[in-house]
């Protein structure tokens, strides 16, 4: 995982949010990665809607905690940061998780 805004990767990344924030997160699954494939992305502690995939609106808006990010695709998620605590977002393929494909984020109730 790479945050293009900071250049940080995987567990170097830390995002902070306030409880009640509604955040749009754009995920791009780079086909030039070492092992291009679909990734099931999982957010701990929060729920989200998949708004669109490659600019095509998703008409089936349901709350999720995991979504497939297709290779070479851009997926927009709308995350409801409603559960305070320290959390992780990661690929749900065990080998990828153990290889470091995750980041951490906090949600504070201040």
- Token duo for residue 11: 């567990």
**For residue range 25-43, what is the model confidence (pLDDT) as tens digits?**
999 999 998 779 999 999 9
Q: Tell whether the model's pLDDT for residue 110 goes beyond 80.
A: no
pTM for this prediction = 0.93
Question: How far apart (Å, rounded) are the C-alpha atoms in residues 3 and 58?
Answer: 24
**For residue range 2-33, what is the model confidence (pLDDT) as tens digits?**
999 999 999 999 999 999 999 999 999 999 98
Q: Which of 45, 47, 49 is nearest to 84 (CA)?
A: 45
Phi, psi of 11 (to 5 degrees): -70, 0
**For residue range 59-90, what is the model confidence (pLDDT) as tens digits?**
999 999 999 999 999 999 999 999 999 999 99
What domains can you pick out in the chain, each with its CATH number?
10-108 (2.60.40.420)
**83-63-78-5 Cα dihedral, nearest 10 degrees:** 70
Indicate the pairing of strand 56-57 with strand 74-81.
unpaired
């Amino acid at each position: 995982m790479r945050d293009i805004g900071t250049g940080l990767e995987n567990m170097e990344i830390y995002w902070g949010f306030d409880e009640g924030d509604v955040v749009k997160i754009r995920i791009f699954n780079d086909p030039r990665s070492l092992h291009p494939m679909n990734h099931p992305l999982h957010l701990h502690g929060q729920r989200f809607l998949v708004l669109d995939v490659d600019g095509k609106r998703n008409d089936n808006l349901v709350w999720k905690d995991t979504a497939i990010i297709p290779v070479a695709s851009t997926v927009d998620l709308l995350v409801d940061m409603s559960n305070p605590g320290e959390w992780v977002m990661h690929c749900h393929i065990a080998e990828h998780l153990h290889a470091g494909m995750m980041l951490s984020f906090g949600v504070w109730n201040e």
